[in-house]
Amino acid sequence: MADSTSTASEAGDAPVLFREAMTVRGKRIGFAQLNAEKSLNALNLAMIRLLDAQLQRWAGDPAIVCVVLHGAGEKAFCAGGDIRGLYRSIVEHRGPPPNHDNLAFFSEEYTLDYRVHRFPKPVLVWGSGIVMGGGLGLMAGASHRVVTETSRVAMPEITIGLFPDVGGSWFLHRLPGRIGLFLALSGASINGHDLLVAKMAEHFLRATDREAIFAALTTLAWSGEADDDRHRLTALLDGFSAQAQAVRPASNLHRHAATIETLCAGDDLAAVHAAITGYAGDDIWLQKAASTLRAGSPTTAALIWALRERTRGMSLAEVFRLELVVALQCCAHPDLAEGVRALLIDKDNTPRWTPATLAEVTPQWIAEHFAAPWSDSLVSLGLDA
């Protein structure tokens, strides 16, 4: 079927490319491609604003029956947020929060993520290749989350002194057992099969089937009724799943389910931290998880635990509002800038955390990260729906 392309996609170097594909019944599919292949489609503020504006237009257009989010190239859907840009903003504008550049980035990113969670039509996210941080924030809210044999997914914020944001405080803690806590603390990399086990994705398909699936979307008899159309989309994707079984990798989450539950069974952070970092087995994946937590920011570990406790019973909107506070306070406290410096700027991989150990992290220090640096009326986050 013929495609019509939106204004935003007329320049090939636009950070997000949009197109609309006509279907057999005259309805249209909206395609949004993150177009920053060199940076593994990492999100910057320009991309966030383009995506959010287009999603609002598509939500209100009765001819649009489904939206597809995917990334340029084969390596990544989205490797996270523009951490280098965030670092520059922190070091150039030191002072008490809120830093208004960082406020804009985080508040608009979270608003976009929330919009995906609440989108009134089917949303398919093609989560092939690398999906980290902000990429998982986009994927988590989609009605149809596709992974492939190339999917490599993680929330590795423990390594840079942030925390699993973009709604991570909501979706990670709703995973089976204590999988979410383990993934948050360890930053462990998981594959497409793992995401099925964790119920973070519904469809495992072959990466090479992407274009065939995108083309097949135009052949569906879309009705314009969201629930009916979600079922139609599910049936289409299920039809491609059988041929992907041969390339499905083994799941570390399934293999180590009992061990993960044991390691994370403690009633306090110190016990869980000691159990994970003290892992003495011979499994390489679990060894890496232990070493990542051991080397990670003690403040991040404490924030993960505190958010887990504080967000119990909160709505999704409330979780995003609380994450915004903590994210901006992370920008104003030492570990985020230091973690990015060590990992991405100087690349010496020797961050000097403040405090240096979990034992030195005080309740007062963590409480500072939950102090809102504004009046309640300053930021609505667009989360009132």
Lowest-confidence range among 38-47, 86-95, 206-215, 368-377?
368-377
Active-site choice (30, 80, 81, 135): 81
Residue that wins the pLDDT comparison between 6 and 130: 130
Structure tokens at 255: 């293999």
CA nearest to 276, candidates 249, 304, 251 = 304
Q: Residue 207 falls within a domain, yes or no?
A: yes
Average pLDDT over residues 86-94: 91
CATH of the domain at 214: 3.90.226.10
Model pLDDT for residues 202-244, shown as the tens digit of each residue? 999 999 999 999 999 999 999 999 999 999 999 999 999 999 9
Does 1 have pLDDT greater than 80? no
Q: Residue 51 falls within a domain, yes or no?
A: yes
Model pLDDT for residues 98-154, shown as the tens digit of each residue? 788 999 999 999 999 999 999 999 999 999 999 999 999 999 999 999 999 999 999
CA nearest to 34, candidates 42, 22, 45, 26 = 42
Q: Residue 75 falls within a domain, yes or no?
A: yes
Summary mean pLDDT of the chain? 94
Q: Give pLDDT, residue 94.
A: 80
Does 378 have pLDDT greater than 50? no
Q: Residue 384 falls within a domain, yes or no?
A: no
- Whether 52 sits among the annotated catalytic residues: the reply is no
Active-site choice (82, 109, 113, 165): 165
Q: 284 near 340, Cβ under 8 Å?
A: no
Contacts of 259 (CB under 8 A, 6+ apart): 281, 286
- Whether 157 sits among the annotated catalytic residues: the reply is yes
Average pLDDT over residues 347-366: 98
Its domain, for residue 21, covers 3-368
Put the strands of the sheet holding 76-78 in their side by side order: 76-78, 130-132, 152-154, 190-191
Q: Give pLDDT, residue 77.
A: 98
Active-site choice (157, 229, 335, 338): 157
Does 262 have pLDDT greater than 60? yes
pTM of the model: 0.94
Q: Residue 113 falls within a domain, yes or no?
A: yes
Q: Give pLDDT, residue 376.
A: 53
Q: Give pLDDT, residue 9.
A: 41
Q: Residue 377 falls within a domain, yes or no?
A: no
Distance CA 85, CA 279 (A): 36
Q: 220 near 163, Cβ under 8 Å?
A: no
Active-site choice (134, 168, 187, 296): 134
The total domain count for the chain is 1
The full length of the chain comes to 385
Does 375 have pLDDT greater than 80? no
Residue that wins the pLDDT comparison between 375 and 126: 126
CA angle 173, 268, 261 (to 5 degrees): 55
Q: Residue 382 falls within a domain, yes or no?
A: no
Q: What residue has token string 């499905």?
A: 248
Lowest-confidence range among 38-42, 100-104, 228-232, 295-299?
100-104
